[in-house]
Amino acid sequence: MPKVRRVFLCRSCRSAQSRWVGKCPDCGTWDALEEAPFDPASEDDTHKGLAAAIAGDVPDATSPRAALLADLRGEADTLRRLPTGIHELDRVLGGSAGNVGLVPGSAVLIGGEPGIGKSTLMLHAACAWAAGGAGVLYVSSEESAKQIALRAQRLQAGDAARPSTAAFPLHVLADTNLARIIEQARRIGPKVLILDSIQMIYKPDVPAGPGSVTQLRRCAAELVYLAKASGVAVVLVGHVTKDGQLAGPRLLEHLVDTVLTFDGDRHHAHRIVRAVKNRFGTTQELGLFEMTSSGLRPLPEGAGPAATDTARPGSALAPIISGTRCLMVEVQALTATGFLGAAKRKASGLDPNRLAMIIAVLEQHAGLRLADRDIFASSVGGVRMVEPAGDLALLLAIAGAHYKRSLPPRTACAGEVGLGGEVRPVPAIEQRVREAARLGYARLLLPPGKYAPVPGVAFEIVRTVDHALQHLS
C-alpha cells in the first residue's frame, strides 16, 4: 500500500509544507498552516494535459495563433496613449513626442510610503484623464466616495485652469470587494481603472485575509488579466513600509507592466515619481512635484535652487542629470569631532560608497586629516544624487566644511573624481551649463575639455583635487 502523504497549506501565502509548524517558514505568519487533502491524481493530470497538447490532441480552433511581427507594425503605430497633460507624470509613463502617457490595456503599479501623496497624485491624474474625455473609475478602499469628492474639489480649487469636475466622466467608488469592483467596471466601461489601494482589496472566495500575500497576488493577477482582456488601463496603488513589509507592492512587480515609485522626504515638499520598471518606456525619466496646500504642483524645468550671493562653507551645487532632465542639486557636508577608529560617516540622499571614496581621495591626494572626524553629507531637498558627476561638489562640500572655507557665490561644479585624484569628464555638459546659466550661476568648475562659450557663465577648468581646493576661500 502506498504511503499516505500529508500536506499543510499556509492560509496566508498558500505555500505547502510537509509537516505542521507554528510559523510559516515562507511568509512568517503564525498559526496559519492547515492540513489539506493531498491529491496526487490532480498533479498527474496536468502533466498529461501538457503532453497531449504538444502531441497535437488539443482542438486548435480555440487556441491563439502566433502572429507575424510585420503584420503588427500598423497596430503599434495607431496605439494612442492616454495623456494626463501633467508632463511630469506623462514623461515617466513613457512614449514618444505627441504620444505620451498611459498605454491602454496596461497595468501600472504605483508604490510609496503611506502619506507621501499617492492618492493625491492619482486623483490629479484621474481628473486629468477625465478632463481629456477618457472615462475613469476611481476605486478607493480607504476613503468614502464623499471624502474623495471633497478632496477632488480641493485639488480643483487650487488649479483654476482646469474645467470643473461637473462634466467629467469620472466615477468614484468606495469598495473593497473585487467582484463588485469588476462588476462596476463592466457596467461603466471606463478607459482607466484606478485602485487605491490594492492592499485592502479582497476576493471573498480566497481563504485568506485582506492584505495577505495570497489575496494580494490573486487580486492583482485578476486585475492584470482584466487589463489585458478588456483594454482598460489598470492603475494599482500600493503602500510600502519602511521595513519592506512582505505584503507590499514588491510582490506584484513581476505581474504588472510598469512600476512607478513615488517618494520624497515627508518633511520636505518635493516629491519624485520615477519608473523602476517600464515595458513601454524608459526607466531613466523622473517627474518632480511639490506638495502644496492645494495638492501636488508639477515643478517645471529650471526650478532648482537659484544662485545666491551668500557663500556658505560646506555647501556646493552641482547640475545633475536624471533622465532627460537636469536638476541643480545642493550638496551639504559637516565635519565634527569624532573618535579615531570610530568616526561616523553618514550620507543622506547620496551613495555612502561614493562618500567613503571621496573621503579617501581627500586624505590621500589633498592631505586632509579626516580619520578622527565625523562626516555628515546630504543632498538638500530630498533629491537623491547617484550620478558620479556630483563627486566634485561632494568633495568641495567636505573640504569646505573641514577648512571652514566656501566657494565663491554663484558657483556650481560638475565632475567625476577618480581614485588618482584627477577630475574626470562627465556627459551632457551643454545641458548642465544651460541649466546653471538659467538659474543665474556665473561660474562653473568643470573637468578638462573643450566647451562652447555661454554668455554670462565663466568656465574654470579643474584637473586635480588640489586644483579644485584652490577655489575655496
Residues that bind Mg ion (CB under 5 A): 119
Asked if 253 contacts 217 with a C-beta cutoff of 8 angstroms, the reply is: no
Residue 64: exposure state from Cβ atoms within 10 A (0-12, 13-18, ≥19) = exposed
116 binds, among Mg ion, ligand TYD, none (CB under 5 to 8 A by kind): ligand TYD
The answer to whether 406 contacts ligand TYD (rule: CB under 6 A) is no
**Closest separation between CB of residue 132 and ligand TYD, Å?**
21
- What span, in angstroms and rounded, lies between the C-alpha atoms of 98 and 121? 22
Binds ligand TYD (CB under 6 A): choice among 119, 214, 378, 406? 119
State the nearest-atom distance from the C-beta of 120 to ligand TYD, in Å.
Answer: 4
Q: Which of 83, 101, 112, 349 binds ligand TYD (CB under 6 A)?
A: 112
User: Grid coordinates standing for 180?
Assistant: 463588485
Cβ neighbours of residue 193 under 8 Å, at least 6 residues apart? 136, 137, 139, 185, 223, 226, 227, 232, 233, 234, 235
Q: Which amino acid appears at position 435 of this protein?
A: E
Residue 115 binds ligand TYD (CB under 6 A): yes
CB of 125 to ligand TYD, least distance (A): 12
Q: 123 in helix, strand or coil?
A: helix
Q: Which of 15, 21, 151, 448 binds ligand TYD (CB under 6 A)?
A: 151
Look at residue 294 and give the partner it binds from ligand TYD, Mg ion, none, a contact being a CB closer than 5 to 8 Å depending on partner kind: ligand TYD
CB-closest chain residue to ligand TYD: 119
C-beta separation of 355 from 451 below 8 A: no
Measured CA to CA, the distance from residue 164 to residue 358 in angstroms comes to 53
The enclosing H or E element of 331 equals strand 325-337
Using CB under 6 A, which of the segments 23-31, 114-122, 131-139, 360-368 binds ligand TYD? Answer: 114-122
**Distance between CA atoms of 436 and 302, rounded to whole angstroms?**
9
For ligand TYD, give the closer residue by CB, 176 or 335. 176
* Least separation in angstroms between CB 241 and ligand TYD: 12
Give the integer Cα–Cα distance in Å for 346 and 405: 21
Round to whole Å and give the CA distance between 177 and 171: 17
Over the window 273 to 292, marking each residue x when it contacts ligand TYD by CB under 6 A and - when it does not, the resulting string is ------------------x-
Q: Interface mask (CB under 6 A) for ligand TYD, residues 233-272, using x and -?
A: ----------------------------------------
Q: Which of ligand TYD, Mg ion, none lies near 270, with the C-beta cut-off 5 to 8 A by kind?
A: none
C-beta closer to ligand TYD: residue 28 or 114: 114
Residue 436, judged by CB atoms within 10 A of its CB (0-12, 13-18, 19+), counts as buried
Q: In what order do the strands lie in the sheet with 411-413?
A: 411-413, 443-446, 458-461
Cβ 217 to ligand TYD shortest distance, Å: 22
Rounded CA-CA distance 420/171 in Å is 61
Pick what 313 binds: Mg ion, ligand TYD, none; C-beta below 5 to 8 Å, kind-dependent. Answer: none
Residue type, 73: R
Identify the residue whose cell numbers are 510537509.
18
Calpha distance 218→290 (Å, rounded): 35
Q: How far apart are CA 431 and CA 230, in angstroms?
A: 43
Figure out which of the listed residues 241, 282, 294, 308 binds ligand TYD, where binding follows CB under 6 A: 294
* Sequence-distant (≥ 6) Cβ neighbours of residue 58 within 8 angstroms: 52
Q: Which of 96, 293, 310, 353 binds ligand TYD (CB under 6 A)?
A: 293
Q: Which does 120 bind (CB under 5 to 8 A by kind): ligand TYD, Mg ion, none?
A: ligand TYD
Task: State which H helix or E strand residue 460 sits in.
Answer: strand 458-461
Compute the least distance from the CB of residue 252 to ligand TYD, in Å.
17
* 114/425 with CB nearer ligand TYD: 114
Q: For the segment 167-196, give every residue that binds ligand TYD (CB under 6 A).
A: none
Among 83, 94, 117, 400, binds ligand TYD (CB under 6 A): 117
Is residue 375 within 8 A of residue 344, CB to CB? The reply is yes
Residue 115 vs 453, nearer CB to ligand TYD: 115
Nearer to ligand TYD by Cβ, of 92 and 318: the residue is 92
- Say whether residue 434 binds ligand TYD (CB under 6 A): no
Contact residues toward ligand TYD (CB under 6 A) are: 112, 114-120, 151, 154, 291, 293-295
